[in-house]
Every structure is written in C-alpha cells, then in structure tokens.
Amino acid sequence: MTRSKDSVEEFERALLTIDRARASDILELLNEGMSPIEVVEQTIVPALEWIGDAWESGDVALSQVYMSGRICEELVDTFLPPADEKRKRQPVTAIAALEDHHALGKRIVYSSLRASGYELTDYGHGITADKLVERSVADGIEVLLVSTLMLRSALKVEALAAGLKKAGSGARIIVGGAPFLFDERLWREVGASAMGRDASDAMRLMTELNGAL
C-alpha cells in the first residue's frame, strides 16, 4: 500500500470502528521502510489528533477516542517498547485524576501520549493535592497533567498549584476535563499553565512544551 491521504483515512476508519486487526494491517503496510518514530509521527499522531478534534466538534464519540488511543498504544508498544531510547526526548511528565475517582479522561490522554511516543508516570486517581505535590517533587516532574470530572476536584488545582510553588517545583500544570470545558475561564482561575480540551490538545501542548523546556 502506498502512503496516501486515503490510506491514512482508512487507518482512522479502522480505529473508529474498533477494528484492531485492520488497523494493525494498514499500519504495517503504510509504514514499510520507515523508522518507528516516523511511523508514530506520520501516521499515529495525525490520526489521533484528527479523532480528538472530531470529538471536540461532536463528530465522533468519547468511546471511539478512548478505544482508538488504546489500540494505538498497543500497536506502538509492539514496535517501540516502553523505555526504548528511540522514544521521544521529553520533559519528565506525570498524569493524575486529582481527587476524582473518574479516571476515563486520564486514561485517554495517557494512551494517546504513549501512542505518540511519550513516556509518562501514572499517579492514578483519587489522589489529593498534597500527595500529588509530594510525589511530583520527589520525582522531579516538569509537566503534570491533571484530569478532573467534578467541579470540586477542578477547584483543588488551585491548592495543587500553590503547593507546587511552595515546594519550589516549577512543574507546569496542564488541566483537562468537563469543568474546564464548561467554563473556559476556570483553568486560569485555578492557576494552571494550560488547558487541554481533548487528547489531541494534550498532544499539541506536549509538543510545544517539548520545544520550550
């Protein structure tokens, strides 16, 4: 198969219909002769970005975004294992669902970033701001991705930002989740560095930070 817009779209279609085998076959054919990181950057990342943007505009559903991220994460792990030196150079990054026990948003961003060649530590869900400060400082985290579903959890980002600052951490906090989608001023109010509307936003923000840090 030659690389063409049609074939990349076919890969996207396989992801959206949750057809793992088809996605794997297309990827293999599309990327003959390419390096693993080229595969990631020229096929996986554009596909996941397109799917994320399509969710934002209401054209695909969150379940499709989630499953696409998972499939890509699994496919990438087969040819670019975790900790492989060919993975991207990046700031030290972690992700957590702050206070919240709703972990889907975190899982989607985690999978999408891993499928894009990033490595990040998963601090889990239901973690308090104090604990997150402690772990971030101990691990020298430079970028902290924070997912929330409940408004009360989103408001705890303020305590997290204050705690990190007090502890001398310069970690950038990128927030995401429903409260930030429904109130676009909220991320600034709670002292985050940026807000990602969806997984593709998170991927773009990571690329920007990769250049800046």
Partner 1 sequence: MDQPSTTSLERTLTTLGHNEPDRVPLFLFLTMHGAKELGMSLAEYFSRPENVVEGQMRLRARYGHDCVYPLFYAAAEVEAWGGEVLFFDDGPPNAGEPIIRKRSDITSLEPPRVSESPVLQKSLRAIELLKSEVGDEAPVIAAAISPFSLPVMQMGFDSYLDLIYEDRELFWRLMEVNQEFHVEWVNAQLDAGATAIGYFDPVSSGTIIPRELYLETGYEIASRVTERANGPLAIHLASGRCLPIIDDIIASGAAVVGVSALEDIRLLKAACSGRITILGNLNGIEMRRWTHEEAESAVKEAIAGAGQGGGFILADNHGEIPFQVPDEVLFAVSEAARKWGSYPLDWVDEYGV
Q: What residues make contact with partner 1 under the rule CB under 8 A? A: 18, 58, 60-64, 66-67, 100-104, 107, 126, 150-153, 155, 178-179, 181-183, 185-186, 189
Closest distance of CB 122 from partner 1, Å: 12
d(CA 88, CA 85): 8
Note the Cα 30 to chain centre separation in Å. 24
CB of 42 to partner 1, least distance (A): 27
With beta carbons less than 8 A apart as the criterion, state whether 167 and 137 touch. Answer: yes
Counted residue by residue, the chain has a size of 213
Q: Which CB sits closer to partner 1, 29 or 103?
A: 103
For partner 1, the closer CB: 189 or 208: 189
Structure tokens at 121: 């530590």
Residue 108 contacts by C-beta under 8 Å, 6 or more apart in sequence?
Answer: 62, 65, 66, 69, 199
193 burial via Cβ count (<10 Å: 0-12, 13-18, 19+): middle
Q: Minimum CB separation from partner 1 for residue 189, in Å?
A: 8
As to burial, measured by CB atoms within 10 angstroms (0-12 exposed, 13-18 middle, 19+ buried), residue 21 is exposed
To partner 1, the closest distance from the beta carbon of 198 in angstroms equals 11
Is the CB of 62 or the CB of 213 nearer to partner 1?
Answer: 62
Comparing CB distances to partner 1, the nearer of 5 and 185 is 185
Closer to partner 1 by Cβ: residue 87 or 179: 179
Min dist CB 111 to partner 1, Å, is 9
